[in-house]
Amino acid sequence: MKYKRSKTMSIQTENTTYTVDGKEFKGYLAWDDSSGEIRPGVLVFPEWWGLNDYIRRRTEQIAELGYVAMGVDMYGEGKTADNPDQAGSLMNAVLDDKQIVKARVEGAYDVLKSHSLSNPGRLGAIGYCFGGAMVLNMARMGIDLRAVVSFHGALDSFFTPAPGDVKAKVLVCHGAADEFIPQEAIEQFKSEMDAARADYEFIAYEGAYHGFSNTAATERGKQYNLPLAYNENADRDSWDAMKNMFEQNL
């Protein structure tokens, strides 16, 4: 039986520290404390900026939907970036070694799976930009997730799935005007998912640029001369698509 959201919701949050390969990581947990009922869990993976206030807010919003949610620290020690050079350096240090990717996503998964309020058989994951790549690769790795959602995420494959490997339902929410994701990458992703016989949906939002879900994207785009922009319609519609996905699968 699925967990039902309380009408008198009380969202609680806490930081959680865990270790992966001898390195300390600092996640962010959020849940509705008005009930002690077990419920599905959702991991929230950040943009290349790291686990910042934006990701904490998204984690809390997931908790408000009735899930126990965990914002994921992919860099260790809660590190975040406030400029593209720093963000790129932190992100590439992870992406340069797929075993680091695997260990860190599995480390976060294990923390959420073992949470006292989390149903270990009903887990999902969402991710933004860099985080979108993380959740798609979790699906490719065959990690036991029911559903994953990528918001304006990179589509690059670190783990090539064989037919049947992708157990999770996959939803990709993509900005049709995203200049960071070439058409070739989209075609390769779809071909890969088809070959793996994955259950996936790819939604492209017309006129939406990279970072369309983040209200800070437009300002950052101007500040750093990057093709980033917030898009209210794409933000709303992609969130609704995620909610429908989770209601059907978690």
Cβ neighbors of 2 (< 8 A, separation 6 or more) are 39, 40, 250
Model confidence pLDDT, tens digit, residues 61-72: 999 999 999 999
Buried b (16+ CB within 10 A) or exposed e, 234-243: bbebbbebbe
Is position 237 within any domain?
Answer: yes
Instruction: Find the helix or strand (DSSP H, E) in which 149 lies.
Output: strand 147-151
Q: What is the CATH number of the domain that holds 140?
A: 3.40.50.1820
Mean per-residue pLDDT, 202-217: 98
Q: Is 6 within the bounds of a domain?
A: no
Question: Which pLDDT does position 2 carry in this prediction?
Answer: 52
Instruction: With 0.85 as the threshold, say if the pTM is over it.
Output: yes
| Residue 1 domain-assigned (yes or no) | no
* DSSP helix/strand/coil, 192: helix
Contact 5, 40 (CB under 8 A): no
Domain assignment present for 4: no
What is each CA distance from 124 to 23, 24, 95, 103, in whole angstroms?
Answer: 25, 23, 22, 18
pLDDT of the residue at 188: 97
Residue 95 has pLDDT above 60, yes or no: yes
Number of domains in the chain: 1
List Cβ neighbours of 233 (8 Å cut-off, separation of 6 or more). 205, 208
Render pLDDT for 147-189 as a digit per residue (tens, 0 to 9): 999 999 999 998 999 999 999 999 999 999 999 999 999 999 9
Q: Is residue 3 part of a domain?
A: no
**pLDDT tens-digit profile of 98-130?**
999 999 999 999 999 999 999 999 999 999 999
**Could you tell me the maximum CA-CA distance found in the chain, to the nearest angstrom?**
49
| Residue 8 amino acid letter | T
Residues 9-30, buried b or exposed e (16+ Cβ, 10 A)?
Answer: eeeeeeebeeebeeeebbbbbb
**16 φ, ψ (degrees, to nearest 5):** -130, 135
In a domain, 120, yes or no: yes
**Amino acid 235: pLDDT:** 98
Query: Looking at residue 1, what is its pLDDT?
Result: 38
Cα–Cα distance for residue pair 50/54, rounded to 1 Å:
9
Asked whether residue 8 is assigned to any structural domain, the reply reads no
* pLDDT (0 to 100) of residue 27: 98
State pLDDT tens for residues 15-50. 999 999 999 999 999 999 988 999 999 999 999 999
Query: Over the chain, what is the mean pLDDT?
Result: 95
Q: 2: closest CA among 201, 181, 250?
A: 250
Backbone φ, ψ for residue 190 (5° rounding)? -65, -40
In the sheet that holds 11-20, the strands lie side by side as 11-20, 23-32, 68-71, 39-45, 118-128, 147-151, 169-175, 200-205
Domain coverage including residue 179: 13-249
Segments in 21-163 forming alpha helices (H): 53-64, 84-95, 98-113, 130-141
Q: What pLDDT shows up at residue 31? A: 97
User: Quick one: pLDDT band at residue 97, thresholds 50, 70, 90?
Assistant: very high
Give strand pairing partners of 202: 172
Q: Going by C-beta distance under 8 Å and a sequence separation of 6 or more, which residues neighbour residue 40? A: 2, 3, 66, 67, 68, 118, 119, 122, 123, 124, 146, 246, 250
The SS3 of residue 25 is strand
Residue 97 lies in a domain: yes
